């Protein structure tokens, strides 16, 4: 398969270049030149398929031309090694739990897939690959875990100083080996800017830089599996109207929103995609045709989606050929959810249904409930374990939140990260020091 830039000014590239370059020469992000179409008949029996089986169909549709079947199956089996259960909450609302991996976030799937795809692509390479990742916590932990101890790969994780939880920080700083955590004296936007600037800088070509955020097409495409697996759950449960189900997901850099839209385009039966934001509400103005967004995001109870302009927006525009009306027919971006509503949603679900959802899942649930949808099934993407935001959850609920072993095993290891200013020369000095 060939891949094109969202800026449309450079020639298509192959999979290896799209994954290893991450950002096109014209500054755009890569997208498949053509979308595969999964036959309609495939969805008739999808309720009998496992997560791994569905993930392989998705992976083979996009990567089967470039990666042999046995290698691709191994990549999928290692990446989708943990299930994503779905729970009924109320009469017609389901929560798809995407956080049962090693770092308790949905990003474990894509990060592990990307890591193993990189390994396959670079199997005979003589150079050392340097992977950069900007994070508010979850992406960095997932990428670090997925790339940990992989031969020929060095990982630099950039995160804003003082803005992560102790558990999130520990998941990145405790590993050592080929994982290099860097605290940036700035915001997550500074971290994202540094990653993209470094990858685009010809002076750094000898470091063979690539990114592990959702700007990397190998991180994004596996997430298409989530929508298909949600539909498989509904079919297995014989839910009436499954083909028109609405899917709500927390929206930061909107990788899951883009992936869900791609799932719909390749044939997955589904209704409205709800892109749920907290108080920053960065997506609604863009969908309305405005070019305004917060230059500096405000802090909310859902910190992983505290973004200014979502980095996935160019991909969404590309997918719909810039047709905002067409985007709005598939995707709804309700008003941002306030901190008070987040807290009320968490406590309400605990009280009424005995279910504990994290703040980001609460944003998605509240956004969907606020739309007043009737007569259709509703699926909420729960993208992180509640313990990932332990302090916030404890403050909201006044109750102890169980700490899974995926978190506790890191907490006893103490390593001090490097702290650098938010400048490209400082990042260059770091890269030089580890290479």
Cα angle 291, 295, 299 (rounded to 5 degrees) comes to 125
Residues 84, 121: Cα–Cα separation, whole Å: 28
For the chain, give me the number of helices (H) and strands (E)? 18, 13
Segment 206-228 shows an average pLDDT of 91
Q: Between 205 and 47, whose confidence is greater?
A: 47
Q: In the predicted model, is pLDDT for residue 177 greater than 90?
A: no
> In this predicted structure, which of 76-85, 93-102, 127-136, 231-240 has the lowest mean pLDDT?
127-136
Q: How confident is the model at residue 435 (pLDDT cuts 50, 70, 90)?
A: confident
Q: In the predicted model, is pLDDT for residue 412 greater than 70?
A: no
- Domain spanning 81-104+220-397: CATH 3.40.50.970: no
Residues 108, 192: Cα–Cα separation, whole Å: 19
For 31, the 3-state DSSP assignment is strand
Residues 3, 115: Cα–Cα separation, whole Å: 19
Quick one: tokens of 415?
């390593």
Q: Rounded to two decimals, what is the model's pTM?
A: 0.91
Segment 245-250 shows an average pLDDT of 98
Segment 345-372 shows an average pLDDT of 97
Cβ-based neighbours of 60, under 8 Å, separated by 6 or more:
69, 72
Q: Between 150 and 341, whose confidence is greater?
A: 341
Q: Between 208 and 67, whose confidence is greater?
A: 67
Segment 368-380 shows an average pLDDT of 94
Residues 296, 210: Cα–Cα separation, whole Å: 25
**How many CA atoms does the CB half-sphere of 429 hold within 13 Å?**
10
pLDDT tens digits, one per residue of 293-327: 666 788 899 988 988 778 899 999 999 999 999 99
Segment 426-435 shows an average pLDDT of 91
Residue boundaries of the structural domains of the chain: 81-104+220-397
């Amino acid at each position: 398969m060939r891949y094109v830039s969202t800026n449309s000014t450079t020639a298509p590239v192959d999979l290896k270049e799209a994954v290893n370059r991450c950002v096109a020469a014209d500054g755009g992000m890569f997208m498949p030149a053509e979308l595969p179409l999964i036959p309609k008949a495939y969805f008739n029996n999808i309720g009998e398929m496992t997560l791994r089986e569905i993930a392989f169909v998705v992976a083979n549709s996009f990567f089967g031309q470039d990666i042999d079947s046995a290698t691709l199956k191994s990549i999928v089996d290692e990446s989708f090694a943990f299930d994503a259960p779905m729970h009924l909450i109320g009469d017609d609302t389901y929560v798809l739990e995407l956080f049962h991996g090693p770092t308790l976030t949905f990003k474990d799937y894509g990060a592990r897939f990307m890591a193993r795809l990189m390994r396959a692509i670079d199997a005979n390479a003589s150079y050392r690959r340097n992977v950069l990742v900007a994070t508010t916590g979850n992406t960095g932990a997932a990428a670090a875990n997925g790339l940990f101890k992989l031969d020929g790969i060095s990982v630099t994780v950039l995160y804003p100083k003082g803005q992560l939880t102790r558990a999130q920080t520990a998941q990145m700083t405790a590993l050592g080996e080929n994982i290099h955590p860097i605290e940036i004296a700035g915001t997550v936007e500074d971290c994202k800017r540094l990653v993209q600037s470094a990858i685009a800088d010809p002076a750094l070509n000898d470091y063979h830089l690539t990114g592990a955020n959702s700007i990397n097409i190998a991180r994004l495409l596996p997430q298409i599996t989530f929508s298909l697996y949600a539909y498989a759950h509904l079919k297995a449960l014989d839910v009436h109207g499954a083909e028109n189900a609405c899917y709500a997901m927390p929206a930061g850099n909107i990788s899951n929103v883009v992936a869900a839209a791609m799932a719909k385009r390749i044939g997955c039966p589904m209704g409205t995609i709800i892109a749920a934001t907290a108080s920053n509400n960065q997506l609604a103005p863009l969908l309305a045709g405005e070019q305004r967004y917060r230059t500096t995001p405000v802090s909310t109870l859902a910190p992983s989606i505290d973004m200014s302009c979502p980095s996935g927006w160019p991909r969404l525009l590309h997918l719909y050929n810039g047709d905002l009306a067409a985007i709005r027919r598939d995707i709804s971006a309700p008003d941002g959810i306030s901190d008070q509503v987040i807290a009320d949603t968490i406590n309400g679900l605990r009280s009424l249904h005995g279910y504990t959802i994290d703040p980001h899942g609460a944003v998605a649930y509240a956004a969907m409930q606020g739309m007043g949808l009737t007569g259709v099934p509703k699926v909420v993407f729960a993208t992180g374990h509640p313990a990932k935001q332990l302090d916030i959850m404890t403050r909201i609920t006044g109750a102890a939140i169980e700490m899974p072993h995926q978190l506790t095993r890191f907490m006893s290891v103490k390593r001090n990260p490097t702290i650098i200013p938010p400048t490209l020369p400082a990042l260059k000095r770091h890269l030089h020091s580890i290479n």
